[in-house]
Amino acid sequence: MKKIILLLFCSAFAFAQKDLALAEKFQSELNKSYADSLKSPLTKEDLKQFKGLDFYPINQKYIVEAVFIRTKREKSFKMKTTTSRTPMYKKYGELHFSIDGKELKLNVYQNLDLKKKPGYEDYLFLPFSDLTCGNESYIGGRYIDMRIPKSGKVTIDFNQAYNPYCAYNYEYSCPIVPLENDLDIEINAGVKKFHD
């Protein structure tokens, strides 16, 4: 019995370490991308002084397992953006999870044009806002990239939450987080705001 418990503990620890390593890799690659003048959303002035994004410390608490519920018969809609552009999206499903014992829900969306591009057929868009927005994190909320789940459960890693390009440069057109994806909790994970 002790061996089984130890094995389960070691397996859980190994998975946790893997999750943390993935978050570290994501943040490192994001910094490299933003430092690259060919890929960066930063203005020329900000790029000259860029030394790295400000992240919350990586925290296992914000790597959560969610129940994925595929929604059916959803109508496509024009998602509002920071400009007059209105790309077509469809609500693809719901993610139900809990943090600190609080039951939470986020809708996940699919961009109808993007899914036609090779490599993005299973791409899902998870925008959210929370109680840190406008304080430590960007006022307009943050995004997480996801893929269509292969089962009824999916991992959400808020350590991989990033800002829309509009947080760095007003020339970009960014989707506005839908009101139903505003969380009544602080998500102290992912990228913090860029400018005060």
Give domain status of residue 195, yes or no.
no
Which residue matches tokens 């839908």?
Answer: 178
Give domain status of residue 194, yes or no.
no
Provide the domain limits for residue 133.
Answer: 2-181
3-class DSSP state of 85 = coil
Q: Note the pLDDT tens digit of each residue in 70-117.
A: 999 999 999 999 999 999 999 999 999 999 999 999 999 999 999 999
Give domain status of residue 189, yes or no.
no
Residue 8 clears pLDDT 50, i.e. is over it: no
Contact call for residues 166 and 111 (beta carbons, < 8 A): no
Which position has the higher pLDDT, 182 or 19? 182
How many domains are contained in the chain?
1
Quote the Cα angle for 100-105-106, to 5°. 120
Give the pTM: 0.89
Give domain status of residue 154, yes or no.
yes
